[in-house]
Structure 1
Amino acid sequence: MDTCQLSTQEIERLARVIHPGAWAIEAERPLATLLGSCIAVCLFDPQARVGGINHFMLPNIRRGSNDDVDTLLSGAYAMESLLNALLLRGAKKVRLQAKAFGGGTIINTEGQAMSIGVRNAEFTKEWLAREGIPLLAADFLGPWTRKVLFLPASGDAFCRRMVTNMATAETIAREERSYAETLLRKPPAGERKIELF
């Protein structure tokens, strides 16, 4: 698929949508996500022409009764998972490049929304710097939600800022809540739990 000649509307129509707590790798198919205070990091290897995107809600894991949920929603897990999957697909760490987006304020309740966005953005910059992966482009913070489109083969990314209105904020909050609730459900009896190590 030659995505170079497509408009952003056509790219969005063809894109695989990535939800909170998820990540994906593609060689050709575009990837898309909608962000509030969450962050999406696009990692790509321009020589291997493979890339991926993640979507995380929290910078780090909190220890408590919902460790599995916190792990899946955390930036630490999302970044390591995406990096390792890219390496398995032939990417080389020394060639990886990044573009990152999000950390906006969608609902400001006693300053918490902004602090989550700021913490997410700081975590992202620190993690990439620690791993030696250059951050080529970023659009963090502000009073916006963002629609991100990513072309893994070329590394091109498009970010559309949208002024947050109540309908957009409710849609994003509902999607994030829905995902978190699916993680809270206990697996059916007899289903084995997978341990991450």
Structure 2
Amino acid sequence: MDYASLPAREIERLSRNVAPGAWAVERQRPLSTLLGSCVAVCMFDLHARVGGINHFMLPNMQRSADSEVDSLLSGDYAMEALLNALLAQGARKARIQAKAFGGGTIIETSGQSLAIGQRNARFARDWLQREGIPIIASDFLGPWSRKVLFVPSNGDAWCKRIVTSHATAEVIAREERAYAATLAAARPPGNNVELF
């Protein structure tokens, strides 16, 4: 399907949502996510016609008893996982470009939200620079939440800033808390699978 000719609203309807702590790689299907203080980085290789997006909550997280949860929510894991998945799909690091979004201040709690958004944005820029991946477009910080749409095959991305009402902020915060809680839920013994 040629997504270039479709309006953004139709692309959003057809998109696969990427939740906090997740990442996805596609060749055709558009990807979307809703951001508050989190950051999403879209990486793509136009020659290989493949791209992906991640959505991370914090730049990195300290190791705890549940290090699996920590790594899934952290930017350092999300960036490495996305890059490796793109390379596995035939992308070449020298051709990969990025677009990055988020780091907004949607809930002010003793100055913490602003610091988290700034740390996330700085981490994304620093990581991409260190890896030699150019950021060709970005929209960071500010008092907005953001809806991001991304078409992996051609690298098109749309970022809609959303003036954050208390209700919108609560929806985003609830989604982030719910995702973190599902990861933290105890898994039944004997049902764990370790991949190597």
TM-score by length of 2: 0.98
Single out whichever of 2-11 and 182-191 deviates more from structure 2: 182-191
Give the Cα separation in 2 of the matches to 1:60 and 1:21: 12
One-letter amino acid of the structure 2 residue matched with residue 184 of structure 1? A
Structure 1: 4+ residue segments shifted above 3 A: none
> How far apart are 1:151 and its partner, in Å?
0.5
Deviation of the 1:152 alpha carbon = 0.3
Q: Any unmatched runs of 5+ in structure 2?
A: none
2:168 is aligned to: 168
Q: Please state how far the C-alpha of 1:195 moved relative to its aligned partner.
A: 6.5
CA distance, structure 1, for counterparts of residue 32 and residue 137 of structure 2? 17
1:120 to 2:120 alignment? yes
Matches of 1:148 and 1:176 in 2, distance apart? 16
Q: 1:137 — aligned with what?
A: 137
Equivalent-residue separation in structure 2 for 1:92 and 1:68 (angstroms): 28
**Given residue 123 of structure 2, which amino acid in structure 1 is its aligned partner?**
F
Residue 137 of structure 2 aligns to a residue in which SS? strand
Separation in structure 1 between the aligned mates of residue 178 and residue 46 of structure 2, nearest angstrom: 35
Measured in 2, the distance between the counterparts of 1:13 and 1:68 equals 32
**Unaligned segments of structure 1, at least 5 residues:** none
Give the CA deviation at 1:102: 0.1
What letter matches 2:181 in structure 1?
E
Per-residue deviation, 1:139: 0.3
Written as runs of structure 1 = structure 2, the 5 A alignment for 1:1-197 is: 1-194=1-194
**Distance in structure 2 (CA, Å) of the matches to 1:21 and 1:174:** 14
1:113-155: CA deviations, max 9, x gaps? 0000000000000000000000000100000000000000000
- Partner of 1:142, secondary structure, is coil
- Aligned residue pairs total 196
Cα distance, 1:104 vs structure 2: 0.2
CA distance in 2: counterparts of 1:130 and 1:90, whole angstroms: 21
In the TM superposition, residue 63 of structure 1 has moved relative to its aligned partner by: 2.0
Q: CA deviation at 1:159?
A: 0.2
Note the C-alpha offset of 1:189: 1.5
SS in 2 for 1:52: strand
Q: C-alpha distance in 2, partners of 1:78/1:64?
A: 18
Q: Distance in 2 between matches of 1:105 and 1:113?
A: 6
The Cα shift of 1:186 comes to 1.5
* 3-state SS, counterpart of residue 69 of structure 2: helix
Secondary structure of the 2:70 match is helix
Kindly state the Cα deviation for residue 20 of structure 1 after the two structures are TM-superposed. 0.2
Instruction: Specify the SS of the correspondent of 1:63.
Output: coil
TM-score, L = length of structure 1: 0.97
Shift in Å at residue 68 of structure 1?
Answer: 1.7
Question: 1:57-97 deviations in whole A, cap 9, x for unaligned?
Answer: 01012122332211100000000000000000000000000
